[in-house]
Amino acid sequence: MANDKRILIINPGSTSTKVGIFAAGEMRVNVSVRHDDEELRKFPTIWDQYDFRKEAILKVLADNDLGLEDMDAIACRGGNVKPLPGGIYRVCPKMIADMKSGKYGGHPINVGGLVAFDLGNQYGIPVLTADPPMTDELCTSARYSGIPQIARQSSFHALNQKATGRKVAAGLGRKYDEVNLIVVHLGGGISVGAHRKGKIIDVNNALDGDGAFSPERAGTLPAGDLVRICFSGEYSREQMLKLLTGCGGLYAYLGTTSGIEVEKRIAAGDEKAAEVYEAMAYQVAKEIGSCAAVLEGRVDAIALTGSLVYSKVLLDSIMRKIAFIAPIHLNPGENEMEALADAAMRFFNKEEELSVYE
């Protein structure tokens, strides 16, 4: 029976390795192994972290008196692979080669994928991933930017967006491919997706492209002014990219990426903090309104997910602006571990066929 399956969940982040063990229908173990910055600086590249990340994963298993021989599958968060439709994929040599090439970006999730792949081969168990960050289901119109040299890219929180979409649809008593939804991921990056009948037909590039500014990302900028800054001679290419991703948004204005810290400042009477936080809510609401237009006003629900859903100040401001569009559902947290477990269970229950990575 599928409910008897035991699944190892692997989700490496920039400063942590999250490890979960899903069994008997629930997450029995959910550990976030934190990595000190000094520890990580010892490794010249992310791939040099291979043994370090692997040991962290195996230690969690050992601490729970389990080994790989006890697992029926490994589910790992999708890495930087080529643009592809959402779905469940078996991690394969071609996928690993594309991650190693660096063509689609570099991130510790790529290392996690390689560790999972090697462990799966060693123990003869399937290694799965689902809805990677480069999930691309954009409609034709959404790809146009305004100049032929640039096409809009799909790069966002696909795993949590899709999982949230399925959860909200189930709550409505319907299937995900039967509803139109707007799903908003509010975290270090912010993505707002238009979900039409199970496909995300439009979404902002939440990594370094467009959309609302976020705790650490700049979002859409006035193009002419951006060009002038780039050619001012004051910033290098690397510095400009850092301004867009990592040092933009809340951090650029307030020197922090923490919603908790911003709320504390607002409560203490910091008018600048209140103004910036309201501006971020304003931009998120504008993105949601844009997605409502993309869906031609036929929106069954709006779902807000991600860590910033816990921020009452931000949430109240956004909800005031969008309540007229559709009923609002709250699904706080990133939910990536649960989403990976759910994908593996859909595979075992034969509810969804494996997609092929070509």
Instruction: For 104-134, write each residue's pLDDT tens digit.
Output: 888 888 999 999 999 999 999 999 999 998 8
* pLDDT tens column, 133-163: 889 999 999 999 999 999 999 989 999 999 9
pLDDT of 99 higher than 90: yes
218 in a domain, yes or no? yes
Confidence of residue 195 (pLDDT cuts 50, 70, 90): very high
Reading the block at residue 240, the tokens are 């400009």
Is 75 strand, coil or helix? strand
Query: Mean per-residue pLDDT for 205-233?
Result: 94
Are 168 and 74 within one domain? no
Beta strands at 26-34 and 6-12: parallel, antiparallel or unpaired:
unpaired
Give yes or no: residues 93 and 183 share one domain. Answer: no
CA distance 273 to 75: 40
109/36 same-domain check: yes
**Confidence class for position 38, pLDDT limits 50, 70, 90:** confident
Q: Are residues 111 and 194 in the same domain?
A: no
Same domain for 243 and 117? no
Q: What is the per-residue pLDDT across 295-319, written as a single tens digit (0 to 9) for each?
A: 999 999 999 999 999 999 999 999 9
Residues 81 and 178 in one domain: no
Residues 12 and 129 in one domain: yes
Report how far residue 69's alpha carbon sits from residue 97's, in angstroms, rounded to the nearest whole number.
Answer: 26
Kindly write down the DSSP assignment for every residue of 259-288, as one continuous string: HHHHHHHHHTT-HHHHHHHHHHHHHHHHHH
For residue 216, CA distances in Å to 53, 159, 249, 252, 259 come to 25, 20, 5, 8, 11
105: left (phi over 0), alpha (psi -120 to 50) or beta: left
Q: Are residues 168 and 315 part of one domain? A: yes
Across residues 21-36, what is the average pLDDT?
Answer: 92
CA distance 92 to 82: 13
Looking at the fold, whether 178 and 325 belong to one and the same domain comes out as yes
144 within a domain of the structure (yes/no): no
In a domain, 148, yes or no: no
- Looking at the domain assignment, is residue 141 inside a domain? no
Per-residue pLDDT at 3 exceeds 80: no
Residue 145, in any domain of the structure: no
| Same domain assignment for residues 69 and 183 | no
| Number of structural domains in the chain | 2
Supply the pTM of this predicted model: 0.90
Q: How far is CA 284 from the centre of its chain?
A: 16
pLDDT of residue 2 exceeding 70: no
Examine residue 175 and state whether it is found in any structural domain, yes or no: yes
- Structural domain includes residue 153: no
* CATH number, position 238: 3.30.420.40
Cα 271 off chain centre by: 31
In a domain, 282, yes or no: yes
More confident residue, 102 or 276: 276
Task: Check whether residue 190 and residue 286 sit in a common domain.
Answer: yes
Range of the domain at 72: 2-136+337-348
- Same domain, yes or no: 128 and 197: no
